[in-house]
Chain A
Amino acid sequence: MNDSGPPHPHQDDTGAKLGMWLFLYTEVLLFGGLFILYAVYLQRYPREFAAAAGELNLALGTANTVILLTGSLLVALSVSAIGRGNCGPAQGLLWGGAATGVLFLANKYIEWSAEIGHGIYPGSPALAQRPPGENVFFGLYYITLGLHGLHVLIGSILLAVMAVMTANGSIRRDRFVVLENSGLYWHLVDLVWIFIFPLYYLLL
């Protein structure tokens, strides 16, 4: 703290980031609740979980992992670009990041359509025929990935807004904490997926 008193609260970038991190932690615990359920039910139904997981589309899941990791890279790069004053490239990188989100959701759409086509969705008659553990697995699968998909959607919109703000100069080399915070949000989406992927797609 310097002698001229603390800066105006709106200029406190570290504070803004601290607040954003705290918000991310609430998200971590939100998904944490679902992971608690996952852990408990996995422990109870290891075989059914493995059988059900085997039916998921591993190729699409892996593709989506790569897509999200790449999206994260683009956004991280855009922050560095702004930090160096390269607004043009930053803008492109942000649009790229938003595009990865759209791509991810498109894949998800294909994947879910196929599964729903096979009669696998929460509360479906086909699922009711199966052993209880598989039912729970798919229930968790749809809720967890649905919630995550919602976050991807919000994240993509945020990135698009950031791209526009970069274009019209509201985000500049000396003022880009809002971009950093949106980036943090986007990385969180990635983080959650990093755990979803092995837990749902790679179970044996």
Chain B
Amino acid sequence: MNEPSHAVVSYRIFIAVWLLLLALTAVTVAVSRVHLGALNIWAALGIASLKSALVIFFFMHLKYEQRIFKIFLLITLVTLALFIGLTFFDVLYR
């Protein structure tokens, strides 16, 4: 079982990711102060997803793991999305 299970990531990459995360935080705060109507929440969610992608792929090393790890993530997210989506068939049409 010789898998690259411990890729050592350079400090520089991590710091770059961290700076990016801080920048995105600033952006999301700034955007939230502008009135965009319903777009506000989608912008917030979009930026949050981007930030989590950075955390997951770099800080959590998902980028360097085997494919199966990524498939599992996909399964989970799809499941959660379906749970939320199907609930909305009720609440939106009541």
A13: chain B residues at CB < 8 Å are 5-6
Tell me the minimal C-beta distance from B83 to chain A in angstroms. Answer: 6
Tell me the minimal C-beta distance from B79 to chain A in angstroms. Answer: 7
- B29 partner, pick from A12, A42, A76, A202, beta carbons under 8 A: A202
Q: In the complex, what distance in Å separates the CA atom of A99 from the CA atom of B83?
A: 36
Tell me the minimal C-beta distance from A179 to chain B in angstroms. Answer: 11
Decide: A43 near B52, CB < 8 A? Known: A29-B76, A29-B79, A36-B84: no
- Segment 71-116 of A: residues with Cβ below 8 Å from B: 72-73, 75-77, 79-80, 83-84
Proximity string of chain A (34-45) to chain B, C-beta cutoff 8 Å, 1 when within and 0 when not: 011001101110
B contact patch SS: helix
Contact between chains at A198 and B1 (CB < 8 Å): no
Pick out which of these stretches binds chain B: A118-126, A138-146, A160-168, A188-196. A188-196
Q: In the complex, what distance in Å separates the CA atom of A191 from the CA atom of B10?
A: 22
Number of residues on chain A facing chain B (CB within 8 A): 52
Tell me the minimal C-beta distance from B56 to chain A in angstroms. Answer: 7
Contact between chains at B8 and A190 (CB < 8 Å): no
B80: chain A residues at CB < 8 Å are 28-29, 32
| 19 more A-B residue pairs beyond the given contacts A198-B47, A203-B40, with a C-beta to C-beta distance below 8 A | A2-B1, A18-B69, A21-B69, A29-B80, A32-B84, A39-B84, A43-B92, A69-B21, A72-B55, A73-B17, A76-B14, A76-B58, A80-B8, A183-B60, A190-B59, A194-B48, A195-B45, A197-B28, A204-B32
